[in-house]
Structure 1
Amino acid sequence: MSDSIGGAAPSFYEQIGGHATFDKLVRRFYEGIKSDPVLAPMYPEDDMEGAIWRLTAFLEQYWGGPTTYSEQRGHPRLRMRHQPFKVNPDAKERWLGHMEVAVNELELPELQRATLWDYLERAALSMVNTFEN
């Protein structure tokens, strides 16, 4: 039996709590970013709410939620959007460290946590665009 309209299985977005969960995840993630000396300069200090919205909307869409991200920004083109920034292995590990704190605070069931974490690790690795310090 499904909670979704039309009998379809609920999306991962719905399974983990929808917008409230993704908003909590991203806001906690950015708390760590703000104090990170390597990553903070990559984010728009004067548009932190915009950055929060973009990541939240992207993740929601990816996991089966609203398509607002693409409606407002077009195709995600993640590598292209991150190309202006030096994303080296250290930046990737820092990003994952802040994201891990945020994911753990969601206290998701293990299968859902592992599913989300697997994607985030692969996404972070795909953003690496240099091996320079």
Structure 2
Amino acid sequence: MVSSFVSSPQDSSTPFDRIGGQARIDALVDSFYRRMDTLPEAKVIRDMHADDLGPVGEVLKRYLGEWLGGPKLYSQERGHPRLRMRHRHFQIGPAERDAWMLCMQGAVEEVIDDPALRSQLLNSFYKLADWVRNDDGNPHDAHN
């Protein structure tokens, strides 16, 4: 289970601190959803969302803040993340994971200046996105 971002043992600061706190996480999420809303390659995941991305963006800001070592605002409001359960009504396979990662990679590259932190974040985001998948994308394995 992917429940939180793992910090480097050599560095006592949290990724939340290294990113620059909640304001930078907010900028990351805003950049992510701007990409989701405009990139043609993201249509597969954009179509899963309501017209107004504002409310889901606020949830992701609180989740990522906590996941990266910041205040526990998400769990105080919504309880345990239970990401698989919360996403189970969406079909999430490799195409959806990759579209999500395309948006997140662009956001990380735009907002995060430190190359080592960018790499660490993208690796962790990929593991998170892959863990939420509930469809392997193989049409031969479709359940009836």
Output the TM-score relative to the length of structure 2.
Answer: 0.81
Give 1:45's aligned residue.
Answer: 51
Match of 2:19 among 13, 16, 19: 16
Percent identical residues: 32
Match of 2:80 among 75, 78, 84: 75
Match of 1:96 among 92, 95, 101: 101
Output the TM-score relative to the length of structure 1.
Answer: 0.87
CA distance in 1, matches of 2:82, 2:130: 15
Look up the equivalent residue of 1:32 and give its one-letter code: R
Q: Counterpart of 1:76 in 2: which secondary structure?
A: coil
Structure 1, 90-99 or 27-36: larger mean CA deviation: 27-36
Give 2:69's aligned residue.
Answer: 64
Q: Deviations over 1:24-54 (max 9, x none)?
A: 11111101212332111211224x2111111
Larger % of helix: which?
A: 1
Look up the equivalent residue of 1:125 and give its one-letter code: D
Give 1:25's aligned residue.
Answer: 28
Give runs of ≥4 in structure 1 deviating > 6 Å: none
* RMSD (CA atoms): 1.6
Q: Deviations over 1:52-98 (max 9, x none)?
A: 11111111101111111000000000011011001111111111001
CA distance in 2, matches of 1:107, 1:74: 28
Q: Counterpart of 1:23 in 2: which secondary structure?
A: helix
Is the contact made by 2:29 and 2:107 (CA closer than 8 Å) also made in structure 1? yes
Unaligned 5+ runs, structure 1: 1-8
CA distance in 2, matches of 1:132, 1:20: 40
